[in-house]
Amino acid sequence: MTTKKKFDPKQFIINNAIYLILVALVIIITVISPRFFSLDVARDILMQSAVRIVVAMGCMFIIVSGSADLSGGRMVGLTALVSASLAQQAAASLKFWPGLPELPAFVPVLVAMLVGVVLGGFNGWVVAKLKVPAFLATLGSQMIIFGFSSLYFNMEPNRSQPLGSLTQSFRDIGSASLFGVPYIVMIALVVMLIVWVLQTKTCLGKEIFAVGGNLEAARVSGINVFKIQMITYSLAGALYGLAGSMEAARTASATSAYGNAYELDAIASCIVGGCSIAGGVGTVGGVFAGVVIFNVISYGLTFIGISPYWQNVVKGLIIIGAVALDVRKYSAKK
Amino acid sequence: MKKAMSLVLAFALVLSLAACGGSSSAPAASSGAASTASSTAGAQPVAGVCWYNFGDTFIANARQTLNDAAAADGTVKVIDADSQNDVATQTSNMNNFYTQGVDYMVLNNINNNAITELIQQAKDKGVTLIFANSNSPTDEEFALYDNVYHVSSMAPQSGTIIGEALAKYWQEHPEADRNGDGKLNYVMLLGIQGHYDTTVRSEYSVKALNDAGIETEAVQEAICNYQRADAQNQMASILQARKDDVEAVIACNDDMALGAIEALKAAGFFADDASYIPVVGVDATKVGVEAIKDGTMLCTALNNPVILGNSVYNLTKLLSEGKELTQENLGMDGVTVEGHHIYINYVGITKDNTDDAAY
C-alpha cells in the first residue's frame, strides 16, 4: 500500500468510473439532442429515480452487511398496494375498504413502512436465526410476499382491479413540489442523508461494515451479529415500505405487479455504484450515482428516440464495465 | 461462503440484465396443486381449467365467474390451476388433470408453439379440449380431433374499436392537429414485445385510423410492459423531447394509458378544454372507466371476463348434456358462435356508455 498521494490519471479514472460514465452519458445525449441539458429534464430524472434511490439505499444496507435480498421488489409491490388501499378518497367508486374514512396522507405511508419492517424483520430472523443462506431465504420470502400481494389484491370487493381514486394529499407526495423541488425528490434526499449519517457517524454503521467485512472477526470482537442482521433487514424493509408508498403516490395507483424486479435493479445500481459484492464496502454517493445512471439511460434513450431494445444493451454493457473496473479498484488496493 | 455469495450475486446481476428489459414475471414456483372449487361428489363431469395467471385482473374475474357458475349450477364440476405464466407449470398442471381423469380440459394456453401436440394428447386421452382466451388452432389442427373448441375474444376488434374512436374525435376536432401538418402524430405505448395482444392492438388501431382516411405518423413507440409506472416514465421523457408533436396516445392497455395521462397532466395537458389530448386504452378496468368519466381518457375497449367465464361454463354444460354448439343452444348475448369457435365481442366504452362497463 502506498502512502504518497500522487495524481495517477489511470487510478483516478478507475476510482471515479461511475461518475465519469454518468457525465459522459449526459454529454453524449446532449450532443445528440441539446434540449436534454435542462432543469426540467433533470427534475424528471430525479423524480423517476426517487423511488429507486430509496429501494437501493435499503439494498445497500444489506449488501454492505455481506448479505443479499431478493425480496425488495415484491415488498415495494405489497406496500404500494397497502398504502394505496388506505389512501383512497371517501367517495371512491371502487373502494378497497368500504366505509374507511379518508386518512391523512402520512397514515398509509407509516403503515406501509411498518409492514416493511415486519417483513424485513422476518427476513432477518430467517437469515440470522434459522441460518438460511440469504439468497435462498429472501427468494422464499419474495414468493411469500408476492403471494400475499396477490391475495390482498384479489380480496372482495376489489378482485384484482388496479387501485385508484387516491386522495389529493397522498398523491401530492408523488407529484407536488415546494419551490420547484418535488416532494418525492426531497424524501429521497432526506433518506440519503439519514443513511449517510447512520453509516458513517454512528456505531451501528461501523458495526454493519464490520459484519460485512468479516463476519467471524466481527463476532469474535464482540459484535452481536444477530442483532445487526435483524436491524439491517428491518431498516431495509422500512425503506422498501416507504418506496412502495412513494411509487403508489407518484403513479396514483397500485397493482400486485408493482415493484417487479426492482430488487435486481437495486442490486445492479449498488454494484455499479461501487458496493462490493462480498460486503463491507459501499457509499451513499456511489449508489445514488448508480441509480441515476440507469434512469439517465432509460430516460435519455427514449428522449432521443432510440429503440427500447438498445436500452438493454447499453445497460448491460455498463453493468459489466462498471464491475470490471470495480474488480481492478480493489485488486489494486490489496 | 463469501465466494459462494459472490457467485450467487453475480447470478443475480445476470438476472438483472433481463430484468432491465422488464421481463414480466418473477421466478415462479412450480405448483402442481390444483384447487378444488366445487366438491360435490358423484358421477358429475369434471372440467379441469388451466389459467395462465391467477394474478391477472382479467383472469381473476373470469375465473371467479366460472367457479361461481359451476357452484350455482352444479351440472359440471370445475377444478382449476395456475400456470403462473410458465409453460412447464402449465404442462404439469395439465398432466395432473389428465391423471385425475377430467372430462373437459379448459386451457388458457401459453404454449402456443405446441397446439398440435396438445390436441394430439387430448385425443389420446379422449378428453374434450377447450382453448380459452388464447390463440385459435388452425383449421388443419381442428381437423385432427372432433372434440376441440375455442372460446376467445377477437383481439383485432380491440384495436379497431379504439382506432375508430380516435378517428371520430380527430374528424370532429380539427384543432386536435396541434402542429398543423395534417397528420395525426401519435405515441404508441406497447405492452410486451411480441405479445399477441400488443401486436394486433397496435396494428389494428392504426389501420382503423388509416381506413378512415387519416394520415398518421408515429412520434415514438415505447415498450412499457403493460405497466403504469413504465408508461409514466417514458411518456415524461417523450413529452420533454417532442411535446409539440404529440397529438394522441394509443396505449395497448388501460394501465399504460393512465400512466401516460399522469405524465401528460404533469406536462400541462388536461388543464382545460384547450389542453385536451386524446388517449385511448384497452381493458375497461374500473380506474380506466373512472378516467373516462373524469374526461381524461377518450375510449377503452372492454373484453368482458364475465362473458368468458360464463361461455366456458355453458359450453361444458351443453356438451355434457350431449348437445351441439350453436348460437341458439348456447343462448348468450355478446358472443358469436362459428363452428367450434365462440367469439366474445369487444365493446367500446366512451363517456356515453360507461354503464356498459359494469359487470
CATH code of the domain in which B336 resides: 3.40.50.2300
**CA dihedral over A124, A128, A130, A133, signed as positive or negative:** positive
Whether B8 maps to a domain, the answer reads: no
Encode B153-193 in three state secondary structure. ECHHHHHHHHHHHHHHHHHHCHHHCCCCCCCEEEEEEECCC
Please check whether residues B188 and B259 belong to one and the same domain.
Answer: yes
Under a CB-based contact definition with an 8 Å cutoff, are residues A252 and A105 in contact?
no
Please check whether residues B271 and B293 belong to one and the same domain.
Answer: yes
Number of domains into which chain B is organized: 2
Separation between Cα atoms, residue B321 and residue B344, nearest integer Å: 23
Please check whether residues B192 and B143 belong to one and the same domain.
Answer: no
Shortest distance, CA B23 to any CA of chain A (angstroms) = 8
Residue at which a domain ends, from B302, B336, B354: B302
Please check whether residues B127 and B253 belong to one and the same domain.
Answer: no
Mean pLDDT of B283-307: 93
ipTM here: 0.84
Interface-testing mutation among A175, A277, A297, A304, with chain B (most B C-beta atoms within 10 A): A277
Whether B12 maps to a domain, the answer reads: no
Under a CB-based contact definition with an 8 Å cutoff, are residues B278 and B176 in contact?
yes
Shortest distance, CA B97 to any CA of chain A (angstroms) = 23
Instruction: Tell me the residue type at A271.
Output: I
Separation between Cα atoms, residue B92 and residue B97, nearest integer Å: 9
Shortest distance, CA B339 to any CA of chain A (angstroms) = 33
3 state DSSP class of A217: helix
* Residue numbers in A near B8 (CB within 8 A): 68, 133, 135
User: By percentage, how much of chain B surpasses pLDDT 70?
Assistant: 88
Q: Which of B23, B223, B285 sits opposite A162 (nearest CB)?
A: B285
3 state DSSP class of B279: strand
Q: Which of A153, A265, A305 sits opposite B16 (nearest CB)?
A: A265
Whether B47 maps to a domain, the answer reads: yes
Whether B269 maps to a domain, the answer reads: yes
* Residue numbers in A near B17 (CB within 8 A): 312, 315-316, 319
CB-based contacts of B321: which residues, under 8 Å, 6+ apart? B75
Residue A159 has what pLDDT? 81
Residue B118 has what pLDDT? 95
Q: Is the CB of B287 less than 8 angstroms away from the CB of A154?
A: no
Count of pairs with CB atoms under 8 A, one residue in A, one in B = 173
CB atoms within 10 A of CB A55: 30
B59 Cα distance to chain centroid: 9
A332 by Cβ neighbours in 10 Å (0-12 / 13-18 / 19+) ranks as exposed
**What band does B237 get if pLDDT is binned at 50, 70 and 90?**
very high
Which numeric CATH code is attached to A14-300+318-333? 1.10.3470
Q: Is the CB of A150 less than 8 angstroms away from the CB of B238?
A: no
B127 Cα distance to chain centroid: 27
Vertex A48: Cα angle to A63 and B202 (nearest 5)? 115
CB-based contacts of A216: which residues, under 8 Å, 6+ apart? none
Name the residue range of residue B97's domain.
Answer: 41-153+304-344
Kindly tell me if the per-residue pLDDT of B157 is higher than 80: yes
Please check whether residues B248 and B272 belong to one and the same domain.
Answer: yes
Q: Is the CB of B228 less than 8 angstroms away from the CB of A255?
A: yes
Please check whether residues B235 and B295 belong to one and the same domain.
Answer: yes
Here the cell at position A244 is: 412502495
Separation between Cα atoms, residue B344 and residue B305, nearest integer Å: 9
Whether B20 maps to a domain, the answer reads: no
Here the cell at position A231 is: 436491524
Whether B7 maps to a domain, the answer reads: no
Separation between Cα atoms, residue B197 and residue B159, nearest integer Å: 9
Q: Which residue in A has a C-alpha nearest to residue B20's C-alpha?
A: A312
Domain spans of chain A? 14-300+318-333
B288 Cα distance to chain centroid: 15
**What band does B61 get if pLDDT is binned at 50, 70 and 90?**
confident
CB atoms within 10 A of CB B52: 23
Residue A332 has what pLDDT? 52
Q: Is the CB of A135 less than 8 angstroms away from the CB of B2?
A: no
Shortest distance, CA B320 to any CA of chain A (angstroms) = 30
Encode B214-250 in three state secondary structure. CCEEEEEEEECCCCHHHHHHHHHHHHHHHHHHCCEEE
Please check whether residues B213 and B262 belong to one and the same domain.
Answer: yes
Shortest distance, CA B111 to any CA of chain A (angstroms) = 22
Averaged in consecutive runs of 10 residues, what is the pLDDT profile of chain A (334 residues)?
66 81 91 92 94 97 95 97 96 88 96 98 96 95 95 87 92 93 96 97 95 93 94 97 97 93 93 87 93 92 84 84 73 52
Please check whether residues B164 and B254 belong to one and the same domain.
Answer: yes
CB atoms within 10 A of CB B54: 18
